[in-house]
Structure 1
Amino acid sequence: MNKVSLVLAFLLSSSSFADEGMWLFNDLPNEYLRDRYSFKADDAWVKRLMQASVRLNSGGSGSFVSSDGLVLTNHHVASDTLHKLSTADRNLIEEGFLARSHEQELKAPDLELNQLVEIVDVSEKVAAAVTPAMSPEHAVTARRAVIAEIEKESLDRTGLRSDVVTLFGGAQYHLYRYKKYTDVRLVWAPETKIAFFGGDADNFEYPRYCMDATILRVYEQGKPAKIENFLPWSDTEIDEHELVFVSGHPGRTQRIFTVEALKYLRDHRLPYVLDYLRRKEVLMQQFGLRGKEESRRAQDELFGIQNSRKAYGGMLAGLQDPKTMQEKVRRQQRVLEAVRSKQPEAAAAWETIARLQQQRVEILDQTSGFRSRLYDLAETLVLMAAEDKKPNSERLPELRVSNRDSLLQDLLSTAPIYNDLEQVKLTDELMRLAERRGGDDPLVVEILDGKRPDVRAAELVFGTKVGDLETRKQFVEVGAPLIDKSEDPMILLARAMQGEYQRLRKIRDELDEQEKQAYTQITEASLAAGSTSKYPDATFTLRLAIGTIKGYSQNGVEVPAWTKMEGIFDYAAKHAGQEDYELPESWQRAAAAIPRGTPMNFVCTADIIGGNSGSPVVNRAGELVGLIFDGNIQSLTADYIYTSDQARAVSVSAAAIRVALEKIYGAPFLANQLGR
């Protein structure tokens, strides 16, 4: 067994431990489940749950809940699609939607669902391509080439989306093969008033009363897809302390990070991001105040910004809590003491990480692009034209052959683009560029072209044809010959930014490569010292979390594990006059029809983060009992450290979803399909 295999054999061995962990489906903590819970996840149980789980390219999770393609996810995960399907006359986010037949189901313009069907360990092949003697630049090129080769070979042979995923900071690489569904249609969504009941004030809080759920359906060849592995549905309230599982796609965690890397996040990166989000929040609010239609156009993006602002605020608060950093320092010192006694030379890896954080500080506020849909499209077209001239092995990862179909799904989306909103967003981005670099900076002078940011933004937005789908199709089909001679102002802007884009991309890629190598050394040294994690940091790939239904104490008050559907009416009355607590008319009319005692929301100790939104919660039998939609405020340190004292994952109960469909939305025909 070689060195990499030895490392991985140790990393992936399971032992008794708290309910911490975002576990790989090809290495579940079976001994722990057996010893603590007397549970065995047999192959059939694992396969059904794995293939019933899906990832949405809008940034969340979901699950198949019927044999004819129904997919359950969150309203806030589907809100991007709801927004793109809305018009001035029909605001689906606010009003909700229900299709009473297949013909009424609305096709999403650019939604892609990925169903994981196979995992292959390719660690040795990737590791063999990079040698210690290589410079960071050459290592980036070599690693990129071997990964491109693996992905393309897999795509050509299987026809499945094929992604190589970095695990354990670079100590391991897995090839994930996915079946893709790109014909996705909206079936049901409740009103925002109930999907986000309590608004920003209740976001990341508990107790909650939310119906944050939406149902989609996947189609193949114009017909509802036939799904073999879907989740049975359970309406039965499960007992407190009962074992549950969450199968979803947690975004990114940094639990492997050294103390120095966490201090960079605490003192530099997170404050920078929060300042940016606060600025964008005000921008979107001000645009929305122009009128009802402007408010609708900004609504989805504003919600995303506000959600991120609160999430990042919670993460920063966690890192600013001295107890968090003290615990990370204690753990690191313990490992380093052991490493220095056995492999003193390996301690240099921690020093490398510290040095790299200083370099990250230096480029933190340097920008190479602009947050605007029109600019993003132009930048992608320009990058694609340039990268297509290169062999596949030398292209940027997102522009490789293996990613082309997904890239085109976004690039050729039929979703509307609103020029008035684009002008406001681009104006602010141009202002930020000038603020950061100074008005006399040569790049600023070139980009502004002698005009004020707002005037220049208007010229760019209203002068470009990039927003026209047929124009984008032409750019894609012809490629570089058309892009290189184009006089389209947005294309010209993207070309003007290419030098800066490539400069910063090279720096960041090389920093990432050096960190991969350092974290691989840290993992190996931790192994030799007998101290390391047993599961890898999250990567927005499928993981299984384990937990129990459990309340908690906060400020001396016991917080129950469950809320009940009837409780929402008292809760709304308590907040009378506050817009975010106004129940939609559909709920007010149906109040008497809701069965008393029906669980609404509940909490469990499962280890989740952002990206898990929309994940199914299942019981021992693999039946769906809930739908993850949030974590409480105490869970926001989970990016860096897990604790089950107060941190909880928050779910909508399966029983509440069925009751809502039957009693509130008049859709028993849909409720009857769930789990069948």
Structure 2
Amino acid sequence: MRKLYPLALATMSLISAVCETSGDEGMYLFNDLPVEQLKSKYGFEPSQEWADALRLSSVRFNSGGSGSFISSDGLVLTNHHVASDTLHKLSSEERNLIDDGYLAKSLDEELKAPDLELNQLVSIEDVTERVEAAVADDASAADAVTQRRAVIAEIEKESTDKSGLRSDVVTLFGGAKYHLYRYKKYTDVRLVWAPETAAAFFGGDADNFEYPRYNLDATVMRVYEDGKPAKLEHFLRWSDSGVREGDLVFVSGNPGRTQRIFTVEALKYLRDARLPYVLDYLRRKEIMLQQFGLEGAEATRRARDELFGVQNGRKAYTGMLAGLQDPGTIATKQKRETTLREAARADAELTDTESAFAEIAAVQAEKKKMLGQTVTFRSRLFDLALTSVLRAAEDEKPNGERLREFTESGRESLVQDLLSEAPIYRDLERVKLADELARFVEQRGGDDQWVAVVLDGKGPRERAAELVDGTKLDDISIRKTYLDGSLDDVKTSEDALIVLARKLEPEYRRIRTINEELDERERQAYAKITAAVSKLQGDSGYPDATFTLRLAYGQVKGYMQDGQRIEPTTDFAGAFEHEAQHKGQTDFDLPPSWNEAEDEVDLATQLNFVCTADIIGGNSGSPVVNRDGELVGLIFDGNVQSLTSDYLYTDQQARAVSVSGVGIIEAIRNIYGADELADSIGR
């Protein structure tokens, strides 16, 4: 138990109910690990050497997701669905890596990803005092945004210039703390092995977010430096045995975003406005992409990766919304919030806490008004146009005044994205942009001034076709011309999408400014609430997830569902049985490689398992390790009961789902015949 400030005993017990984590809850910073909790509950005390080795063996995928180094010569393990963006970009009409999988039999056959960046967290530095000192106490929200942006850009540039590392200032505890994260970047990443989607996503949408599972959601890549496989000092050794119920395991990954600090009013905004809005968008996109795929096999392939992401998001958000629509969820959060506010009112030093709750409530009402106000059409070609226009304008400003993604510290990542060799399909772009324009009209109304600007007297489909036909931004050399050019080059461009982006730039900046000011108001309010929690508890536990490296822990543990015991592990025999039980359902057909190798596989080998570790989206691809720091699993999902974890953790039924490490080796060796790859893993 961490030190508590002296309060009346009755108040103390109430605050404990508000602030303490329950079960195996927690996504902990690597510079503030839960040493005492682990020692007290599990008799395990992680050494600094143990933590450093795990941190340096973990990587973040800029495409979204996590991974780990698994050999001294640069091998990286992640999920198939994390790697699917790369698999899609490396595929063509003649070579479908999504469906067919891939195995490089030599270094020469390893395929270079067109725009993938992996980040290894090298160091963390607390820069809170410097950031806070740069923002005047009496600054308006608009001035605070400007002042904070300037000092963060300055810190990041200084760090990048000095270290040569990617440097990101990360906001923690809602704005109560700021840490500088320094990353080593790997931008030459190549595909080594990927199974077929039929194995990686066995059970399809029906089994997604369910358990038991029988998936091989794994892919192996390799990082290169100077054209050769990188030589790594830190990588994960591999356990040669499966996990057992009760085992303590750890997850090192990059959870995306959580809202556990959110007030009740903020959660109600999610429940009643934001999540329904997002779900409407996802359902619309799902239908659009499905319809496009009906044009033929090649159309299906072109839309497949994006369609999978949309369907996965739709199911995840449906679960999140269902959790918030359960009255018990809000009631639980309300009880905890009421307890905190009563305790804060009793403390003379925390009198501004109540105003912070009122400010957050006011911000939610204004955020609701901003829903649907956007001019960022979700089309790759339009994204390139808008980025080119903004880049040219931002480069005219001092570094500290630029929008964050255009500062000097982020230049390399910006250039890599703009000059990506990933294919852009004009037929798909026309359909996507037409749907975005139609939605734009629906959101704003046909008489809106910006609708008139965008449509230019035409219907959405006709206008989308005109815009796509009138751009050359799918040509890398053209994009490079704009990247290397001046503001005048962009201003005089006759490219149809550049012209449109130029016209929309003022509205984009207006909307962004409003949203940034709302974020700043929330940030300041949550910082006050966090300060109250910290004073009453002695510390603030762990911050909400920020797509930065965290450590979670838990037990391998089954659970009860619908009166039945759900065992914590599955095996290869179960996969073949699952296929037989669903005969005739396409998503439950294992690939031919599995059926052909069934006699070669040890069917008793563990394939998937669940644990109580606290994870969310972004943890996909995270390594699961044991007490010795050996890899025992690979996070790929959570069960449906875990979908409320964005705002409320429970370990009663919620579980993190992993591919077992021994299952991955068994498949690589005895299904895919890649003995050399299997032998090199963990060495």
TM-score band by shorter chain is over 0.9
Three-state SS of the structure 2 residue aligned to 1:590 is: helix
Counterparts of 2:324 and 2:414, CA distance in 1 = 35
Three-state SS of the structure 2 residue aligned to 1:166 is: strand
Structure 2 counterpart of 1:293, one-letter code:
E
Counterparts of 1:19 and 1:612, CA distance in 2 = 16
Counterparts of 2:429 and 2:603, CA distance in 1 = 48
Structure 1 position 192 matched with structure 2 position 200:
no
Structure 1 counterpart of 2:475, one-letter code:
D
Structure 1 position 139 matched with structure 2 position 139:
no
Counterparts of 1:479 and 1:181, CA distance in 2 = 29
Structure 1 position 583 matched with structure 2 position 590:
yes
Structure 1 position 42 matched with structure 2 position 47:
yes
Counterpart in the other structure of 1:3: none
Counterpart in the other structure of 1:269: 274
Counterpart in the other structure of 2:236: 231
For residues 517-572 of structure 1, give each alpha carbon's deviation from its aligned partner in whole angstroms, at most 9, with x where no partner exists. 00011111223333874000000000000101000000101000000111111110
Counterpart in the other structure of 2:400: 393
1:340 shift after superposition: 1.1
Structure 2 counterpart of 1:466, one-letter code:
L
Counterpart in the other structure of 1:148: 153
Counterpart in the other structure of 1:57: 62
Counterparts of 2:442 and 2:243, CA distance in 1 = 55
Q: How does 1:286-297 map to 2 (within 5 A)?
A: 286-297=291-302
Counterparts of 1:39 and 1:78, CA distance in 2 = 34
Three-state SS of the structure 2 residue aligned to 1:380 is: helix
The answer to whether the 8 A contact 2:341-2:353 is kept is no
Counterparts of 1:620 and 1:15, CA distance in 2 = 24
Counterpart in the other structure of 1:104: 109
1:15 shift after superposition: 8.2
Counterpart in the other structure of 1:619: 626
Counterparts of 2:184 and 2:342, CA distance in 1 = 46
Structure 2 counterpart of 1:579, one-letter code:
T
Counterpart in the other structure of 1:77: 82
1:373 shift after superposition: 0.2
Distance change >3 Å, CA 351–CA 15, structure 1 → 2: closer
The answer to whether the 8 A contact 2:254-2:550 is kept is yes
Counterpart in the other structure of 1:672: 679
Counterparts of 1:147 and 1:177, CA distance in 2 = 14
Question: Structure 2 residue aligned with 1:468, among 472, 475, 499?
Answer: 475
Counterpart in the other structure of 2:600: 593
The answer to whether the 8 A contact 1:369-1:497 is kept is no
Q: How does 1:447-526 map to 2 (within 5 A)?
A: 447-526=454-533
For residues 608-662 of structure 1, give each alpha carbon's deviation from its aligned partner in whole angstroms, at most 9, with x where no partner exists. 0000000000000000000000000000111001111000000000011101011
The answer to whether the 8 A contact 1:148-1:392 is kept is yes
The answer to whether the 8 A contact 2:534-2:540 is kept is no
Distance change >3 Å, CA 530–CA 31, structure 1 → 2: closer
For residues 357-393 of structure 1, give each alpha carbon's deviation from its aligned partner in whole angstroms, at most 9, with x where no partner exists. 0000111111122000000001111010010010000
Counterpart in the other structure of 1:405: 412
Three-state SS of the structure 1 residue aligned to 2:356 is: helix
The answer to whether the 8 A contact 2:22-2:650 is kept is no
Counterpart in the other structure of 1:559: 566
Counterparts of 2:419 and 2:217, CA distance in 1 = 29
The answer to whether the 8 A contact 1:65-1:71 is kept is yes
Greater Cα offset, 478-487 or 58-67: 478-487
Counterparts of 1:551 and 1:531, CA distance in 2 = 34
Counterpart in the other structure of 1:661: 668
Counterparts of 2:507 and 2:473, CA distance in 1 = 22
Counterparts of 1:378 and 1:17, CA distance in 2 = 47
Structure 1 position 435 matched with structure 2 position 442:
yes
Counterpart in the other structure of 1:537: 544
Counterpart in the other structure of 1:383: 390
1:239 shift after superposition: 1.7
The answer to whether the 8 A contact 2:190-2:221 is kept is yes
Structure 1: gaps (5+ residues): 1-9
Structure 1 counterpart of 2:391, one-letter code:
M
Corresponding pairs, count = 665
Question: Structure 2 residue aligned with 1:359, among 366, 381, 391?
Answer: 366
1:33 shift after superposition: 1.1
- TM-score, normalized by length of structure 1? 0.97
Counterpart in the other structure of 1:7: none
Counterparts of 1:398 and 1:344, CA distance in 2 = 37
Structure 2 counterpart of 1:595, one-letter code:
D
Counterpart in the other structure of 1:446: 453
Counterparts of 2:508 and 2:361, CA distance in 1 = 25
Three-state SS of the structure 2 residue aligned to 1:120 is: strand
Counterpart in the other structure of 1:166: 171
Counterparts of 1:345 and 1:609, CA distance in 2 = 32
Counterparts of 1:410 and 1:423, CA distance in 2 = 21
Structure 1 position 569 matched with structure 2 position 560:
no
For residues 492-531 of structure 1, give each alpha carbon's deviation from its aligned partner in whole angstroms, at most 9, with x where no partner exists. 1111111110110010000000111000111112233338
Counterpart in the other structure of 2:319: 314
Counterparts of 1:18 and 1:580, CA distance in 2 = 35
Distance change >3 Å, CA 642–CA 17, structure 1 → 2: closer
Structure 1 position 368 matched with structure 2 position 392:
no
Distance change >3 Å, CA 390–CA 609, structure 1 → 2: same
Counterparts of 1:40 and 1:532, CA distance in 2 = 20
Counterpart in the other structure of 2:28: 23
Counterpart in the other structure of 2:247: 242
For residues 109-152 of structure 1, give each alpha carbon's deviation from its aligned partner in whole angstroms, at most 9, with x where no partner exists. 00000000000000000011112200111000000000000000
Structure 1 position 647 matched with structure 2 position 664:
no
